[in-house]
Chain A
Amino acid sequence: MLKNSTSEYGWIGITLHWGMAVVIIGLFALGLYMTSLDYYDPWYQKGPNLHRSIGVLLLTVLVFRLVWRIANPRPEPLGDDPPVLHKAAELVHRLLYLFLFAIAFSGYLISTADGRAVEVFDWFSVPALLPGVENLEDYAGEVHLVLAITLMVLVGVHAAGALKHHFIDKDRTLLRMLGINK
């Protein structure tokens, strides 16, 4: 089953969810690591190149995921939580999407602030859109960091919700996202 039903996630949705989770947390860690490096560190150039390239690819996958989400039925929430909690969970989902887009865009602005394109591996490059804004790289950099930290807090809230369903409510919310049937 590739597509979602109203009760289960399809394999495409599941793969997108966990694959992106790993990549997003990895990019966050890489971002913190690479900005802490000394100029002479072997990763000083490799780190940012990797971060930029994976970031651009992640953005394209994010767009596909959003399309997939719209084109698929949404599995109904499980458990007997009050509607306000369902709304809160849904709000967190939407914020996760919104923050991912904003982080990708602000990161793109850092690298393209002087009109340079973003190189994605040795594969293709994304041209600059808004060069010529003075000190854009500084503002975009601060926004990128603050949004990324906030995203990680949201990820924590999202994961805590899943763990609550699994261990306290003892329902299939987490198992269903893992594609486990029983």
Chain B
Amino acid sequence: MKRTLMTMAAAALLVLTAPVFADDYKIDTGHTFIQFKISHLGYSYVIGRFNDFEGTFTYDEKDPSKSRVEASIVTGSIDSSHAERDKHLRGSKFLSVGKYPGARFVSTVFEDQSNGKALLKGDLTLHGVTKPITLDVTHVGAGKDPWGGYRRGFEGTTRLSLKDFGIKGPGPTSQELEVLVVVEGIRT
């Protein structure tokens, strides 16, 4: 009896202290970049980014398919390195940031492809429209940082069609944009 109790207590202790593999991370906004690249007239590109966002993700090394991501972006923080263009991009012809101040991504599926690559599927809400999108994700690395924290980083790319989100776009050659996100999280 005593022996059984001891075993149970030991088992309970073991369960409680067992390493939790699904770690939670908070996105480090100083080391995370949400960039886009869109054709200019078909002759070149405009590259821009969103400066104000926040998010969290969960990553389970043992079972990456349990990974989840959530992020929200302040659309008014769009920055294409030209204030007058940014003013237009925020306006009613494009992002309508007064009406739709936030964009949001919530992941639904993380398909690990076991070579450091994965497909991250989720719902993107932009310009008031929610559409499923898929990002090609590369796991860049993880480990201790020099300041006592633990970090993990990913890179993701996708293509978006402005039309899908009810945005007319500036012209016929500029209807699709490439999105590149570099995300670094600090374990919480």
Name A's B-contacting residues (CB within 8 A). 39-40, 48, 110-111, 113-114, 116, 135-138, 141
Contact = CB atoms under 8 A, between A and B. Distances in A.
Given A135-B76, A138-B90, A114 B83 contact: yes
Contacts of B86: 114, 137
B148 interface: no
Contacts of A136: 83
Contacts of A48: 84
Nearest to A136: B83
The 9 closest A-B pairs by CB, nearest first: A113-B83, A114-B83, A137-B83, A39-B170, A137-B87, A39-B171, A40-B171, A141-B87, A138-B87
A116 B82 CA distance: 8
B133 to A, nearest CB: 26
A10 to B, nearest CB: 40
Contacts of B82: 114, 116
A141 B97 CA distance: 15
Given A39-B171, A40-B171, A114 B81 contact: yes
Contacts of B81: 114
20 contacts: A39-B171, A40-B170, A40-B171, A48-B84, A110-B83, A111-B83, A113-B83, A113-B84, A114-B81, A114-B82, A114-B83, A114-B86, A116-B82, A116-B83, A135-B76, A137-B87, A138-B76, A138-B87, A138-B90, A141-B87
Interface string B66-92: 000000000010000111101100100
Nearest to A40: B171
A74 to B, nearest CB: 40
Contacts of A40: 170-171
A53 to B, nearest CB: 15
Given A135-B76, A138-B90, A110 B84 contact: yes
Given A137-B84, A138-B90, 17 more contacts: A39-B170, A39-B171, A40-B170, A40-B171, A48-B84, A110-B84, A110-B87, A111-B83, A111-B84, A113-B83, A113-B84, A116-B82, A116-B83, A135-B76, A137-B86, A138-B87, A141-B87
A115 to B, nearest CB: 8
Contacts of B171: 39-40
B48 to A, nearest CB: 12
A138 B78 CA distance: 12
A143 to B, nearest CB: 13
Q: Which of B81, B83, B87 has the most CB of A within 10 A?
A: B83
A174 to B, nearest CB: 40
A116 B81 CA distance: 10
Nearest to A135: B76
A106 to B, nearest CB: 13
A17 to B, nearest CB: 32
A39 B90 CA distance: 15
A137 B81 CA distance: 12
Nearest to B98: A138
